[in-house]
Amino acid sequence: MTLYPLKFSPIYKTRIWGGHKLEQFGKHSDTLPNIGESWELSGVPGDESVVSNGFLAGNSLPELVEIYMDELVGKKVFEAYGETFPLLIKLIDANDDLSIQVHPNDDLAAERHNSFGKTEMWYALPGAEDATLISGFVPNVDKNLYLKHLAEGTLEQVMDKHPVEKGDVFFIPAGRVHTIGRGCLVAEIQQTSDVTYRLFDFNRVDDKGNARELHTEQALDAIDFAYVKDAKKHPVAKENVPCELASCNYFTTNLIKLTDKLDRDYYHLDSFVIYLCTEGSVEIKYDGGRETMVKGETVLLPASLSSVTLVPQRSSEILEVYV
């Protein structure tokens, strides 16, 4: 039987800073006090996504890569990553500030954790009017100044803080210190990695009175202190025309605002494609059938499906991600 557009059951993560805004994207839990993160597509060991539709329902993402190999992910992707699915897709609800943190690059993560590094990007969804986030340092910060503010508990004073509104895009390469602030709601596209160095956690404690672990020494080798002038972008997408939000060695992400049907040809990519529906409802027509995705749903399009037609049921918006 041939492959088809795959849906997966979300993996919910309760977080000390999480809330309930992801309910508007269909994310509910009867057992968790809040949902800070919904892992939409994951091959991270211990958190493997499981197919929820079609004849492959019940199979995990790593199992699919092992069985279908380049038919699922593309020849170039399989040659580069083997049986590791290279991307992790999340929805994140920050009801409070996340910790100020940094992620190692590929070399450092491989040396210390036998892992990939973590370059990521955020696409802002409708959050609070006063939402902000941090991406990098203000100008003229070096290691000594950073350590001084860290010791004094004033790290925010030297961080570059940005107001956030829907449609803002932040690209966060490994090494850039960052945090998602209270009131933000974002879609996150990242390398498959769960390695985070926490620098400062606003002196919070959990329900047992314990502070979360900090990684001050480990983080020093990972931090890039360079100031980045244009950390925030706000691309304006034309209707029915893919608009590039971010592109790097690990992924490309486009925004597509759909008001009419759109043919997408992926033959040249030699990669899987991920759709994350952020508004509306879209029917995916492909050779062999059709699948519908609604707001909050993520679909994995196997590399073997080289062309599809996207048909919005109403004015809709999707993120399109590939390697």
152: Cβ contacts below 8 Å, ≥ 6 apart? none
Residue of 15, 182, 198, 264 with catalytic role:
198
Give the Cα separation of 211 and 201 in Å (integer).
Answer: 8
Active site residue 198: yes
Question: Which residues carry out catalysis?
Answer: 198
